[in-house]
Amino acid sequence: MARRILIGVDGSPHGEAAVEFGVRWAGEYKCRLTGVCVVDEPGMTGGELVPIGGGAYKAERDRTRIKRASAQTAKWLDAFSARCNAAGVTASAVTESGDPAAVLSLEAQGHDLVLLGRQTHFRFESQDSPDDVLQQLIRHAQRPVVAVPLNPEGGRAIVIAYDGSLQAARAVQAFQATGLGVGRPAHVIHIGSGSGAGSPHARRAVEFLTAHGIAASVHDVRAADPVANALVGACRDLRAGLVVMGAHGRSTPYEFSLGSVTRTMLAESPVPLFLYH
């Protein structure tokens, strides 16, 4: 059962969506939140070509950036703490310095899962575009990562993208261990002919979940549909509130890996994605 959830706080709209979702889960599952801001010192002070005599200017600029980033992250964590207090949620706030992906990966070891916005902006002082922290954590974190869209749909059902791969099996086991599926219907997606017969892989997942008290069933999806489109459609048809997927693996036609299917789901899923490598 999940007891501690780590939330990466980056001040962006996507990050705020992750905080709101985390507060909701904390209230429902009675778990503790940890909000973490990261001051990306390596990104702000990294080596770069400077003109002769420009070293002093760069050093002063870097100090200014770090000071400004530290002040900004303090404001974001104050807002995080205030939001949790208002909701009656037990929470702590932490500021760290270093590479954001490395810091969050280490912090995740003391938590059951990580919540992040579907876009992350931890390198806000050194780049304007979204960074790659979410992708790095999906690949390397030792805990499941939940990627939250800006306006997540609020259904109760769980959609599980299961193809029998090692990554999918690990994701289902990690999901079961969190307790997030208790009291919620789970639909194990089988990409097939639409006959309703399912597959041995899907049936094994249903048996595992059922043995752990999760009401699960097989849901057939036509093979003619692109996999990501079929999953998005299943989310809406089944009124899902979460998709469980394995992350990273071979690129096979129906594998739910950190390839084209996962990238498309990260861009288009109307509900949060529970991802585990």
What domains can you pick out in the chain, each with its CATH number? 4-148 (3.40.50.620), 157-276 (3.40.50.620)
pLDDT digit string, tens, across residues 9-28: 999 999 999 999 999 999 99
Cα–Cα nearest to 2, from 32, 35, 24: 32
- The pLDDT value recorded for residue 127 is 87
Q: Give yes or no for residue 253 having a pLDDT over 50.
A: no
Distances (CA, A) of 256 to 32, 184, 213: 30, 22, 25
pLDDT digit string, tens, across residues 172-220: 999 999 999 999 999 999 876 555 455 788 899 999 999 999 999 998 8
Q: How far apart are CA 209 and CA 216, in angstroms?
A: 6
Q: Give yes or no for residue 257 having a pLDDT over 50.
A: no
pTM higher than 0.85: yes
- The pLDDT value recorded for residue 198 is 59
Cα-flanking dihedrals φ and ψ of residue 116, to 5°? -135, 155
